[in-house]
Amino acid sequence: MKIFNKRSFKLLLLMTIIASLLSGCSSEVGTSSGQSPECVEKDTYIVGLDDTFAPMGFRDDNGNLVGFDIDLANEVAKRWGITFKFQPIDWSMKETELNTGNIDFIWNGYTITEERKEKVNFSEPYLEYSQLLVTLANSEFNSIEDMAGKVVSTQGESSAVDAAYAQPGLVESFKNGELVEFPTYNEVFNDLEAGRSDIVIADEVLARYYMKNKGEEKYKILEENLGLEEFGVGVRKEDPELLERLNNTLKDIKEDGTYDEIYSKWFSAN
């Protein structure tokens, strides 16, 4: 123990300084604890999003964040006279990020489900879509019944998973009685193309975007789907005033036509 004398103490001190320097220059995020109700009108809010979720929120050619949700959020911020900060998060951690106060909104194609309602408050829905069943253009599958005994895949932690399990007995009828889950739709569609997956369950917004990118003629959308769903903004349960303010602004944006402008920028008419 004699080794721990003045000199190693100095070394320890030096390292403590380095550590505190490192922490000093990096504490700009993570402190937006919106727990106290008096900070309803802050001068900035942090929007948590998965920046790989085209076309709702993703990176363009220059690495800038773009997308339908980004435009909508920026419109809300403009009307509040502030700017939002966009914080990329890992999608599987979204509710944890929100409830630990690291972000103030989950706003990125966040589907309203009963399960999620227990963890967060949802704004009024701002977009409707359905869960499509997609397969290769030359396949013979045509209906939900055809999915029995097939390899079916989708994005994990997504509402497509919930939609599949919501149909009684559906997942059990798949090959091995399981739904194959990949981290992103990119892998899901790659797997379909590689012939390992037979049918893909996909959010309509995403599915149409991917098919457009990869060549629409390669795929076939089944006429049946797994039902209609809605996107909403997730807000902490402790922030009811913030939710109300957001709902009012979203209503204004829909009523004065700004919503339609943003919509037509990102989605085709159908």
Partner 1 sequence: MNVFNMLIPMTIEGLRITIGVFLATLVISIPLSIIVAKLRMSKNKIIAKITGIYIYIMRGTPLLLQLMFIFFGFHYIPLIGFAFGRYQAIIIAFVLNYTAYLAEIFRGGIGSIDIGQFEACQVLSLSKRFTFMKVILPQVVKNVMPSIGNEVITLVKDTSLVYILGVADILKAAKSVSNTYSTFIPYIFVGIVYLLITAILTKLLDNFESKFSYYR
Q: Which of residues 93-132 bind partner 1 (CB under 8 A)?
A: 93, 96-97, 100-102
* Residue 83 within binding range of partner 1, rule CB under 8 A: no
State both tokens at 207. Answer: 């599915």
Q: Quick check: 36 binds partner 1 (CB under 8 A)?
A: no
Name which position in 36, 38, 43, 63 contacts partner 1 (CB under 8 A): 63
Nearest Cα neighbor of 196 from 225, 221, 175 is 175
Cα torsion angle, 234, 239, 245, 251, sign: positive
# residues contacting partner 1 (CB under 8 A) = 50
Query: Of the candidates 34, 45, 47, 51, which one interacts with partner 1 according to CB under 8 A?
Result: 51
Q: Which amino acid is at 241?
A: E
Q: How far apart are CA 268 and CA 270, in angstroms?
A: 6
Q: Which of 10, 13, 17, 19 binds partner 1 (CB under 8 A)?
A: 19
Q: Which of residues 191-210 bind partner 1 (CB under 8 A)?
A: 210
**Least distance (Å) between residue 241 CB and partner 1:** 22
Minimum CB distance to partner 1, residue 225 (Å): 22
Residue of 120, 50, 56, 49 whose CA lies nearest to 263: 56
CB-nearer residue toward partner 1: 96 or 264 = 96
* Spatial CA neighbour of 93 closest among 106, 104, 82: 106
- Residue 96: DSSP 8-state: H
Residue 23's φ and ψ, nearest 5 degrees, are -75, -30
Contact in structure between 125 and 112 (CB atoms under 8 Å): yes
Structure token digits, residue 131: 């869960």
Residues in 134-193 at the binding interface with partner 1, rule: CB under 8 A: 184-186, 189-190
Q: Where on the chain is the footprint of partner 1 (CB under 8 A)? A: 1-5, 7-8, 11-12, 15, 18-19, 22-23, 26-31, 33, 48, 51-54, 58-63, 87-90, 93, 96-97, 100-102, 184-186, 189-190, 210, 213-214
